[in-house]
Amino acid sequence: MDFEIKTIITEEYEDSAFNFDLIELETFLKKRLLHKNYGSSVIKYFWGFELTKSDGQFAKFFSGDIQSWKTKDKFLVINTHNDWNKLAYQNEEKVFQNITEVFLQSIDRFYTMKRKPKDFDCDSFKKDVSNYIEEFSNKYKNN
The sheet with strand 44-52 has its strands ordered as 2-9, 44-52, 75-83, 67-70
What are the domain boundaries of the chain?
2-142
What are the start-end ranges of the E strands in 10-120?
44-52, 67-70, 75-83
Helix/strand/coil for 78: strand
Runs of H (alpha helix) within the chain: 22-33, 84-87, 92-107, 122-142
pTM: 0.84
pLDDT recorded at residue 128:
98
Across 34-43, 49-58, 66-75, the highest mean pLDDT is recorded for 34-43
CATH architecture, range 2-142: 3-Layer(aba) Sandwich (3.40)
What is the percent of the chain where pLDDT is above 70? 83
Across 29-38, 41-50, 82-91, 98-107, the highest mean pLDDT is recorded for 29-38
- Centre a 10 Å sphere on the Cβ of residue 38 and count the other Cβ atoms it contains: 21
pLDDT recorded at residue 39:
95
User: How do residues 6-43 score in pLDDT, each as one tens digit?
Assistant: 987 777 666 666 677 889 999 999 999 999 999 999 99
